A = this chain, B = another copy of it.
């Protein structure tokens, strides 16, 4: 038994289909000392099935679990979000191994709130969900890459727990929350529009690229301030030039 502090870890299941997997994920959380579980648009909530799979020991995780209508609302207060995907034929962002993620996460202080995001059993995470992620994680597998949802949750929780067991904590500057980053993206959108970028390419083209640029970097609160300071300056300069 190890009383590690994993209170800064949040598990987010996006559009889960089977109540059994929700319950099994709650049990994983409890095994690995994680207490925060969030669901986004679950297909079905069957508390009997959830509680049976969670076992009596993990009922507190189930009871404090929250349900959200929208992924953004479920990650709003987090500083870092890792999304999991199976390796597929399509071209996607380069992904990390669970161990690489765990080593990084274990090095952060407990003030940094980290989300682990899992897609639905049928579809996984869609590109739009992945665009919100700070990094993407793929569990290494043999030819059959589709891992049961709760098993994926377990592997990531287990890796982070294990990494925390013997990792020193390095003090880092505070990361930006999703709220802060979304504010910055809105600000970017406005500025892109003002400078006429949307006449060259669609807004979604520019915004996807902006998200790609900023999401993977572990953006700090200070970085966000700096970017927004620059954007304000652009607006000011434009306005000045026109007057």
Instruction: Report Cα–Cα, A58/B144, bound state, in Å.
Output: 8
- Flag whether A231 is at the interface (Cβ < 8 A): no
Q: Are A55 and B146 in contact (CB under 8 A)?
A: yes
| A/B interface sample: 23 pairs, CB < 8 A | A1-B87, A1-B143, A3-B142, A3-B143, A24-B148, A24-B151, A28-B151, A31-B141, A31-B146, A31-B147, A32-B141, A32-B142, A33-B141, A33-B142, A57-B144, A139-B158, A140-B162, A140-B165, A141-B161, A151-B151, A151-B154, A155-B155, A155-B158
User: Counting CB contacts under 8 A, is A4 at the interface?
Assistant: yes
- Residues of chain B within 8 A of A1, CB atoms compared: 87, 141-143, 145
Please report whether the interface of chain A is mostly helix, strand, loop or mixed according to DSSP: loop
Q: Is the CB of A31 within 8 A of B154?
A: no
Closest 8 CB pairs of A and B: A33-B142, A30-B144, A57-B144, A151-B154, A31-B141, A31-B147, A1-B143, A31-B144
Contacts of A161 in B (CB 8 A): 140-142
Q: How far is the CA of A147 from the CA of B97 in the complex (A)?
A: 23
* Interface check A2, CB cutoff 8 A: yes
A151 to B1, CA, bound (A): 18
Known: A4-B142, A99-B162, A154-B154. 11 other contacts (CB 8 A): A2-B142, A27-B147, A31-B144, A31-B145, A31-B146, A57-B144, A58-B144, A97-B162, A140-B158, A140-B162, A155-B155
Q: What residues of chain A have their CB less than 8 Å away from a CB belonging to chain B?
A: 1-4, 6, 24, 27-28, 30-33, 55, 57-58, 87, 97, 99, 139-148, 150-151, 154-155, 158, 161-162, 165
Nearest Cβ on chain B to A142's Cβ, whole angstroms? 3
Q: Cβ of B151 and Cβ of A2 under 8 Å apart?
A: no
